[in-house]
Amino acid sequence: MRRRDLIKGLSGLALSWPLTARAQQAARARRIGVLIPFENENDPQVRDLWPAFKQRLAELGWVAGGNIQFDVHFTTQNIERIRAGAAEIAASGAELIYVWSNPGLAAMKQATQTIPVIFVLVSDPVGSGLVANLARPGGNITGFQNFETDIGGKWLELLKEAAPGVRRVGVLYDQNIPANVEFLRTAQTQSSLVGVTVVPAELHDVADIERVVMEFAQESDSGLIVTPNPLNARNTEVIVGLAARLRLPAIYPFSLDPQKGGLISYGFDTIEQQRGAAAYVDRVLKGEKPADLPVQAPSKYQLVINLKTAKALGLNVPPQLQQRADEVIE
C-alpha cells in the first residue's frame, strides 16, 4: 500500500471515531430509578398512572427498553420497605429517580442528596421539609405536589353541600404526614363557617380503619373526609364499604374513588400530573437541574359525584352541585 493511501485511510478512521463514540453514547440507555409505594403495576392506584408517565416519555423520545431503562421498586406502604427501596435505588447507579408520595420522597431525600429526584403525589412539600421553596426548590429535588393545604376546607364545604344534614365530620388522616395534619387543621378552621364539628380520626394501620370508622358512626348526622395518604389509598374499598354499611356520607381525594362506590370526590387530574412529571424527567435528562425547575401545583381540579351512592344513603344531591361536577355517575 502506498504511503499516501495509508495516511488517507488512517485519517478516515480517525474521523470516524467521534461519530462512532457519539452513536454509542446516543444508544446508551439512561437509568431511571422508580419508587412506588403500592403493591405492583396492577394495583388500582397504579395501573392508569404509571403507563401515562411512560407514554408521555415515549412521546418525548424516551422508549423503555431502548434509550431508557427503569429500575422499579414497588414497596407497598410499609415504611421499612420504602426506606429499603430508596436505599437500593440510590446505590444502584441510577442517574435520575422518579418517586411517588410523601413517605417515598422523605425516604429518598435521606438516601441521596445528589441524584436528581422528580416527585409526584406529594402534599405540602415545603411544610413537610422536603424542598426549601416552591419557586426554586434548591438541591436535587423537584416535582408536582398534589393538594395545597387549604383543600381541607374545600372538602368540608363540598361534603356539607352534598349532605346538608351532616353535623359532625371525622377526618381520616395520618399524623405522621405533615400535609395530612394541615388538611385537618384547615377543615377545623372552616368548620364554624360551615356549621359542623370536625373531629380528628387518626389511623396507623389497616386494623385501625374499621374500629375508628365504626366508633365514629355511633353518633348520628356524621360524615367523613378521607385524606390522601398511602394507607387510605390502598384501602379505599374498605373505607367505601364501611361508609355504605354505616350510612356515612364521605368525600374522597381522587376521581377513582366514586367509581369504587364513594359518594363524592374532589381532586386534581392525576393523569395530567404524571405527564408533567415525564416532561420534567425529559428536561433533567437533557441537562437542566432540579433546583431550577419550580415545584408545580395542580392547575385543574375535578369534582365527581356518584348519584347511585347518594340514593343509597338517602341523599338528594342539589342540582346546582351536580351541574358543577366534571362527572356524575348514575
Cα–Cα dist 45/258, whole Å: 13
Cα–Cα dist 246/4, whole Å: 93
Average pLDDT rounded to a whole number, residues 82-104: 95
- Residue 25 clears pLDDT 50, i.e. is over it: no
Within the chain, strands assigned E span 30-36, 68-74, 96-100, 117-122, 141-145, 168-173, 197-202, 222-226, 250-252, 264-268, 301-306, 327-329
Q: Give me the pLDDT at residue 195, please.
A: 95
Mean pLDDT of the chain: 90
DSSP secondary structure code for residue 64 in this structure: B
- pTM (two decimals): 0.79
Q: Give me the pLDDT at residue 27, please.
A: 57
Residues of the chain above pLDDT 90, percent: 76
Cα–Cα dist 73/255, whole Å: 25
Q: Give me the pLDDT at residue 130, please.
A: 93
**Domains of the chain and any CATH numbers:** 29-146+269-299 (3.40.50.2300), 151-268+302-329 (3.40.50.2300)
- Residue 72 clears pLDDT 60, i.e. is over it: yes
Q: Give me the pLDDT at residue 78, please.
A: 87
Q: How confident is the model at residue 177 (pLDDT cuts 50, 70, 90)?
A: confident
